[in-house]
Chain A
């Protein structure tokens, strides 16, 4: 059932200068799957996630969203007009949540959320605002709609960032260490939102250091080591019974 696949990553390789960060990685997420990428810093997990929506351009390999293959092959930062257009359209189907939130600082919470729907999806302001308010309700932060991001705590900013990504109705959500920049007491409020999305059956790829979260919500956990998949499998099995020494070591370190 090919059209059951929401996202496929095929043999992605990426070098930064002489350093080979990704040495050929493949993933496949069916609709409703939650794949957690774990591993030490430097293992390539964030780079892999950024390759999925081409914030980093892979040196080789394919990204397939639904049944559409990203065509872009930029040469020294430049790509053809048609390829750029295709990439823009594919990116609208992938929601990205960053470690540092990256809310637009010159816009209020509400403006951040309606920006994409208004200018990219063609919604009227009223439609976009109505949807934004539902999303703010969902992430539990409606009273902050007219605040600027700089007035919000990290946890609140990250919840707004999740709402902003959801406003585009993405088919797949990408999370890049969504709680790593948060003070410990603010982690839970963001984790609750992410768990809620998983429970709704959202397709998600998640880079995380939160082992409990990975264990609770993932359909598959992928352990990366030095740019390769060292071990992958069902979360409970992998975490209670790791096969490789490296995963065993890693789990001991983060436990």
Chain B
């Protein structure tokens, strides 16, 4: 029994430090990818609701394609073609040196954000549409410019409708960061445990630890989401 716990210790004998590093990687990748997908989702949602046909077309194509393909496939495509293409483009523009290469970390972040941005788009679009027309008309009637109207009226009210959906996507993204690990480019939590289990043959131990860690992330997240829900629900 003692020897098992030593496997989770620090230093050469134990995997504890690697697991903690993986845990932090999972959280950091998820946070950055989530922030990026929020941005993508907001822009795409506004495009879908835009009067400009071209913006609508681009946003529709994006969400349709990403939502129809298996996540893993999209991640592979983004990682192996889009990221490579972006590297070539940056090089040909002379913005970066010839040896420049996106790190596996950033490639994974971009892939995750690209996939989740599509789902984010739909959550946000629904949230925007759920804001009653009278709320925006009252702002138009006092001559509020559109950008201010969005920031002061639509966004806060949209959040009330969107927070449950946005919370789900956050939980999903923490888990999908484990899928991105198949790219083998950085050591997040599950991948680290997979290696540790392979070396030590203590599958039960390591996978239980990882399960507990993901559960912890979820529980903390849910508590935070609940508080945000209460905050944006004020007045309703």
In the complex the two chains form, is A106's CB within 8 Å of B143's CB? Answer: no
In the complex the two chains form, is A148's CB within 8 Å of B51's CB? Answer: no
Given contacts A96-B141, A119-B152, contact A106 B51 (CB under 8 A): no
- Residues of the A chain whose Cβ atoms lie less than 8 Å from the Cβ of B143: 87-92, 120, 168
B6 on interface, CB distance cutoff 8 Å: no
B94 on interface, CB distance cutoff 8 Å: no
- Residues of the B chain whose Cβ atoms lie less than 8 Å from the Cβ of A91: 140-143
CB within 8 Å of B: which A49-106 residues = 53, 55, 76-78, 84-85, 87-92, 94-96, 98, 100, 102-106
Give the number of chain B interface residues (Cβ < 8 Å). 25
In the complex the two chains form, is B134's CB within 8 Å of A92's CB? Answer: no
**Closest Cβ neighbor of A118 among chain B residues:** B152
Q: Return B225 CB to nearest CB of chain A, in Å.
A: 18
- Residues of the B chain whose Cβ atoms lie less than 8 Å from the Cβ of A177: none
In the complex the two chains form, is A105's CB within 8 Å of B157's CB? Answer: yes
Given contacts A91-B140, A98-B138, A102-B134, contact A148 B153 (CB under 8 A): no
A150 on interface, CB distance cutoff 8 Å: yes
In the complex the two chains form, is A92's CB within 8 Å of B142's CB? Answer: yes
B235 on interface, CB distance cutoff 8 Å: yes
A115 on interface, CB distance cutoff 8 Å: yes
- Residues of the A chain whose Cβ atoms lie less than 8 Å from the Cβ of B140: 55, 91
Q: Return B26 CB to nearest CB of chain A, in Å.
A: 34
Q: Mark A102-122, 1 if CB is under 8 A from B, else 0.
A: 111111100000011001100
B230 on interface, CB distance cutoff 8 Å: no
Given contacts A77-B51, A106-B236, A149-B235, contact A116 B153 (CB under 8 A): no
B145 on interface, CB distance cutoff 8 Å: yes
With beta carbons under 8 angstroms apart, the residue of A89, A98, A165, A168 that contacts B134 is A98
- Residues of the A chain whose Cβ atoms lie less than 8 Å from the Cβ of B234: 106, 148
In the complex the two chains form, is B137's CB within 8 Å of A148's CB? Answer: no
**Closest Cβ neighbor of A87 among chain B residues:** B143
With beta carbons under 8 angstroms apart, the residue of A84, A90, A119, A148 that contacts B148 is A119
In the complex the two chains form, is A102's CB within 8 Å of B156's CB? Answer: no
- Residues of the B chain whose Cβ atoms lie less than 8 Å from the Cβ of A89: 143
With beta carbons under 8 angstroms apart, the residue of B52, B134, B160 that contacts A106 is B160
B81 on interface, CB distance cutoff 8 Å: no
Q: Return A214 CB to nearest CB of chain B, in Å.
A: 23
In the complex the two chains form, is A105's CB within 8 Å of B144's CB? Answer: no
In the complex the two chains form, is A55's CB within 8 Å of B145's CB? Answer: no
B61 on interface, CB distance cutoff 8 Å: no
Report Cα–Cα, A150/B160, bound state, in Å: 15
Report Cα–Cα, A108/B236, bound state, in Å: 11
Q: Return A48 CB to nearest CB of chain B, in Å.
A: 15
In the complex the two chains form, is B236's CB within 8 Å of A55's CB? Answer: no
**Closest Cβ neighbor of A170 among chain B residues:** B142
Q: Which of B134, B145, B157 has the most CB of A within 10 A?
A: B134
B208 on interface, CB distance cutoff 8 Å: no
Report Cα–Cα, A150/B233, bound state, in Å: 12
Given contacts A55-B140, A120-B143, contact A150 B236 (CB under 8 A): yes
With beta carbons under 8 angstroms apart, the residue of A94, A103, A150 that contacts B138 is A103
Q: Mark A139-181, 1 if CB is under 8 A from B, else 0.
A: 0000000001110000000000100110010000000000000
Q: Mark B119-136, 1 if CB is under 8 A from A, else 0.
A: 000000000000010110
Q: Return A12 CB to nearest CB of chain B, in Å.
A: 18
Given contacts A88-B145, A116-B142, contact A105 B137 (CB under 8 A): no
In the complex the two chains form, is B51's CB within 8 Å of A78's CB? Answer: yes
CB within 8 Å of A: which B189-223 residues = none
**Closest Cβ neighbor of B53 among chain A residues:** A76
Given contacts A77-B51, A104-B153, A148-B234, contact A88 B144 (CB under 8 A): yes
Q: Return B149 CB to nearest CB of chain A, in Å.
A: 10
A-B contacts, 18 of them at CB < 8 A, read A55-B137, A55-B141, A76-B51, A77-B51, A87-B143, A88-B143, A95-B141, A95-B142, A96-B138, A102-B132, A102-B134, A102-B135, A107-B235, A119-B148, A120-B144, A148-B234, A148-B236, A168-B142
Binding site for B on A (CB under 8 A): 53, 55, 76-78, 84-85, 87-92, 94-96, 98, 100, 102-108, 115-116, 119-120, 148-150, 161, 164-165, 168
Binding site for A on B (CB under 8 A): 51-52, 132, 134-135, 137-146, 148, 152-153, 156-157, 160, 232, 234-236
